[in-house]
């Protein structure tokens, strides 16, 4: 591999794969992260929704218009035409109503109550940062392309800082894939169950050979084909 990246929580998996975090320490951080996020947005106060077929600029404009009293912001830029918004539940509802009025035909509320990657997670991020100071961070064996800004990092301190900011800033997944392409990456392996990221990658750049490796057989097939390509 030439680079590593992970979507949202998957960034922790990428850091373990790169040797920056041990699996034990990453598991402790992920558990704490979930606890802090839930405490920051008690059940019923937050919401998220997937908006399909809308331009980034329209979603941003509508979120700003609906944020006078409460928070609603783009939380995940997953691919062109697929953006997740999040924030206070009522503000998310207002944004969905306005998007429909502006011609957006499909938007789906997600079955989550914690609005991750929004400013509502700022206090949770501060507390997570405190916990991170007591953990050993190592230089990654491979560069990490991080969610907050699609920048490639190898310095443990800057990696840690970006991981903290990821909790309250949007996931820039489209830009992450574009950064990989700009770095010369032509093949991407999605490691883990499912094919969600593979689908997103194909929407972002159809020239990338992306494979979902959900089993040992998938891995063997991809390795064989890529080795002899």
Q: Whole-angstrom Cα distance, residue 185 to residue 183?
A: 6
Q: Name the β-bridge partners of 160.
A: none
H/E stretch holding 62 reads helix 56-65
Angle of helix 10-17 versus helix 156-165 axis, rounded to 10: 170
Bridge partners of residue 59, in order along the sequence: none
Which residue in 24, 117, 175, 228 is the catalytic one? 117
Distance CA 59, CA 83 (A): 8
7 a catalytic residue: no
Count CB atoms within 10 A of the CB of residue 24: 10
Residue 160, phi-psi category: left (phi > 0), alpha (psi -120 to 50), beta (remainder): alpha
Active-site hit among 8, 22, 67, 113: 8
Residue closest to 104 by CA, chosen among 55, 48, 60, 57: 55
Residue 113 designated active-site: no
What's the chain's Rg over C-alpha atoms?
18
Q: Quickly list DSSP for 99-116.
A: HHHTT--EEEE-S--S-T
| Residues annotated catalytic, as ranges | 8, 117
């Amino acid at each position: 591999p030439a680079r590593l990246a992970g979507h949202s929580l998957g960034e922790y998996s990428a850091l373990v794969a790169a040797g920056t975090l041990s699996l034990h320490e990453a598991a402790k951080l992920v558990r704490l992260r979930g606890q802090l996020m839930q405490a920051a947005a008690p059940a019923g106060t937050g919401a998220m929704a997937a908006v399909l077929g809308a331009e980034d600029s329209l979603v941003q404009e509508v979120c700003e218009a609906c944020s006078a009293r409460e928070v609603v912001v783009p939380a995940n830029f997953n691919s062109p035409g697929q953006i997740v918004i999040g924030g206070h539940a009522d503000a998310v509802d207002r944004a969905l109503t306005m998007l429909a009025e502006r011609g957006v035909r499909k938007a789906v509320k997600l079955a989550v109550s914690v609005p991750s990657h929004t400013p509502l997670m700022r206090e949770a991020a501060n507390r997570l940062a405190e916990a991170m100071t007591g953990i050993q961070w190592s230089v990654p064996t491979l560069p990490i392309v991080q969610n907050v800004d699609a920048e490639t990092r190898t310095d443990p301190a800057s990696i840690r800082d970006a991981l903290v900011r990821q909790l309250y800033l949007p996931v820039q997944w489209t830009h992450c894939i574009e950064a990989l392409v700009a770095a010369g990456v032509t093949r991407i392996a999605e490691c883990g169950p499912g094919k969600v990221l593979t689908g997103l990658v194909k929407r972002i750049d159809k020239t990338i050979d992306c494979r979902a490796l959900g089993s040992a057989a998938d891995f063997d097939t991809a390795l064989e084909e890529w080795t002899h390509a």
